[in-house]
Structure 1
Amino acid sequence: MTESPSQRRPTILDVARAAGVSRAAVSKVIRDAYGVSPAMRERVLAAIEELDYRPSAAARGLRGSSYTIGMELPHLTNPFLTEIADGARQALLGTPYHLVVAPAAGPERGAIEALVDHRVDGIIAISPLVQPDWLEELALRVPLVMVGIHDDAASYDTVVGDDVEGARQVMGHLLGLGHRRIAHLTEGEEVTAARSTPHALRLQSYLECMREAGLERHVRVVHVKNEQDEARDATLALLREPDRPSAVFAAHDSLAIGALAAISESGLTASDVAVVGYDNIALAGHPLISLTSVDQSGRSLGQQAVAMIRERLEGRADARRFMAQPRLVVRSSSAAAAASVEESSGRARRRTPHRADASTGVSPTR
């Protein structure tokens, strides 16, 4: 007894019959190849959806493509990274490609190698500690886009935010509010001391802005692991110091939320200690959090990374860089410095110079 299409897994031939086209035409649509009219593509995609057709990954691999894009994430605890992954997922909707996420459970290079072993067609990675020479060699074998790494790459693409400008927007905002004792809460020294990582550039900009404002004696850099609890503990220690900071610039929002928890537990408010984060994750806009933060649109970064991978798959060979422009979103976590501090700040409270007009990219929100 022969099974009907509804009783077994549909095949490419079933799709071709339902769409009224040849198997070759269905294959072209699946591969997103040239030479397919919009009308034919629409019929084939409709038949694929109706039949719930899913090509075998093994068969696709044997034909030279797995139709999967691999994405390596250093960890899953930072909501900004999941926003980037979600942007990549959204960009692949309606295409024959699927996203495979590999969290790094140890050295980031291991997760990338696992994706290569699974024969993905391209890799998007967020690996600040992987050596560029190794990445250059890898990019000769598989299309590669690095997110958040300011490398001058020859063989792979990079998608970054303008971390220097973003950090200067933060510092200009805090200095303009009269703050002098501004602490910088950032990740471990292995990250900030690495090559051009976002956190290295944000730290560099913080130090430059403090120096330009004549506030070198108030520089305070605190390194923590990438965890809210450790950021909370570090901030509690800062608040116990006799000359506690009046503001905290956190290198990303998860650290900023840990700092806000410490300030609340200490019975203080934004009027006592201002906090500014970076990444503008969804939680930052919650009315009970209301965190001032730099928005660099994580989902847009993920979408851009997918676009560049697909360009590579279509034959582009030259290395390219995409840089997103940051925008400071001002909320209630960053209040003006107390009057006593503001009065004593004198000449040092002048606004830090920006590479663009100070009003550019700063927008108040509810």
Structure 2
Amino acid sequence: MTASRVTIGDVARHAEVSTSAVSKVLRNAYGVSPAMRTRVLAAIKELGYRPHGAARALRGHTSTLGVLLPDLRNPFFPDLIDGIAEELGDTCYQVVISQAGRDPAGESRAVHALIDQSVGGVVLVAPLSPPADLEVIAKAVPVVVLGRDDRSPHYDAVFGDEEVGAGLVVEHLAGLGHRRIAHLADAAWHGSGRGEPATPPDPRAHAYERAMARLGLGAYADIVRTSYTEEGGRAGVGELLRRPEPPTAVFAGADLVAIGALGALREAGLDVPGDVSVAGYDNSWLAGLAHISLTSVDQPGLTMGRTAARLLLERIGGRTASARISITPTLVTRRTTAAAPPPGHNPDAANFNVTEI
């Protein structure tokens, strides 16, 4: 029997289950028993069954799920995609990736383009839209938000614990004797519409401020808002170096930003970590490269992606109760952080001109 001739009824008879049971397994519907799933998947493999995409679309089903990313350059995002793909490995679903851009209007267009393609559900990575807008989207298609601590009865959320992550960095740097610890924050959060009571405008920056205050360093808190790009890291450091008293440590809100910061500091003639320590966030593959060796907060992207995909499949399968899952980060220390320079150590940076942020 060739794969093109195998039907869902053939699979059901071979597995000795109903066609509705096969359909539930194909959709990874919520509540399918492990034994049923194993039996049906074995029958699918033995018969070489492949769902017919056009027929599924006519029945109101789809074999694609959308993933919306803010951009395609952040080295942390491939870990999320890998996790999502791994979780979907034994299902009929494939991932369609779309780029949202860095403004709510562009994000809205991208989301609705995915919905127009009849995706079965959407994972929104660090979306800019306020919860009220996301709830409207969730009424049209199952939604999981990845990277934001939202509370909504209509969609699920998977996020890293920002309080723990930012606290780990600040405590590490303070423990090394640093006081002037600056933070490079994501400018996209500022004025994006996220500033509703249940959603702080920038949870990572707020967590940094609280950690500084908790350690008695609130007076030294210094935030520069920049783009979450390598260029943004360079520009942010350019602004920090123009301070009357530049920081002795920089906490970048993403590894890609930290890479730009490292380049800018070295171009300015400053030693890392002798003059300035630098830490990032996400512990992406870039951070572990031998010639970079960046201290970074480890968010397990693979786990976060798998969790988001699992929740989305459950939503598609019929679960209506809201789920919020927090992932606890850890800190990986490497060669870009060291003891603070002694008091009075204030090396002159070379001329460093960056005007755009």
TM norm structure 1: 0.81
1:327-360 Cα shifts (integer Å, max 9, x gaps): 0111111111013369xxxxxxxxxxxxxxxxxx
2:163–2:207 CA contact under 8 A, matched in 1: yes
Query: Shift of residue 76 of structure 1?
Result: 0.7
Q: Tell me, which stretches of 5 or more residues in structure 1 are unaligned? A: 343-366
Look up the equivalent residue of 2:60 and give its one-letter code.
G
Separation in structure 1 between the aligned mates of residue 190 and residue 50 of structure 2, nearest angstrom: 41
SS at match of 1:339: coil
Match of residue 348 from structure 1: none
1:88–1:306 CA contact under 8 A, matched in 2: yes
Aligned residue runs from structure 1 range 166-205, under 5 A? 166-188=165-187, 190-191=189-190, 194-195=194-195, 200-205=202-207
Structure 1 residue 164 corresponds to structure 2 residue 163: yes
Query: Shift of residue 212 of structure 1?
Result: 3.5
Structure 1 residue 11 corresponds to structure 2 residue 5: yes
Query: Shift of residue 152 of structure 1?
Result: 1.6
Aligned residue runs from structure 1 range 316-335, under 5 A? 316-335=319-338
The number of residue pairs the alignment matches comes to 331
Q: 1:227 aligns with which of 216, 226, 229?
A: 229
1:117-146 Cα shifts (integer Å, max 9, x gaps): 111111111243212112112222321111
Separation in structure 2 between the aligned mates of residue 177 and residue 192 of structure 1, nearest angstrom: 34
2:15–2:39 CA contact under 8 A, matched in 1: no
Separation in structure 2 between the aligned mates of residue 298 and residue 185 of structure 1, nearest angstrom: 21
Q: 1:263 aligns with which of 245, 249, 265?
A: 265
Structure 1 residue 239 corresponds to structure 2 residue 241: yes
Structure 1, 274-283 or 115-124: larger mean CA deviation: 115-124
Match of residue 42 from structure 1: 42
Separation in structure 2 between the aligned mates of residue 223 and residue 265 of structure 1, nearest angstrom: 21
Identity rate, percent? 39
Structure 1, 235-244 or 272-281: larger mean CA deviation: 235-244
Separation in structure 2 between the aligned mates of residue 182 and residue 32 of structure 1, nearest angstrom: 47
Structure 1 residue 89 corresponds to structure 2 residue 85: yes
Q: Label 1:147 to 1:192 Cα distance change in 2 as closer, same or farther (>3 A).
A: farther
Query: Shift of residue 323 of structure 1?
Result: 0.2
Query: Shift of residue 27 of structure 1?
Result: 5.5
Match of residue 210 from structure 2: 208
Query: Shift of residue 242 of structure 1?
Result: 4.3
Look up the equivalent residue of 1:38 and give its one-letter code.
T
Structure 1 residue 339 corresponds to structure 2 residue 342: yes
1:232–1:262 CA contact under 8 A, matched in 2: yes
Separation in structure 2 between the aligned mates of residue 108 and residue 141 of structure 1, nearest angstrom: 16
Look up the equivalent residue of 2:83 and give its one-letter code.
G
- More helix by proportion, 1 or 2? 1
Structure 1 residue 100 corresponds to structure 2 residue 81: no
Separation in structure 2 between the aligned mates of residue 240 and residue 37 of structure 1, nearest angstrom: 61
Match of residue 305 from structure 1: 308
Q: CA RMSD in A?
A: 2.8
Q: Tell me, which stretches of 5 or more residues in structure 2 are unaligned? A: 346-357
2:25–2:37 CA contact under 8 A, matched in 1: no
Query: Shift of residue 314 of structure 1?
Result: 2.2
Look up the equivalent residue of 1:110 and give its one-letter code.
R
Bigger-Rg structure (1/2): 1
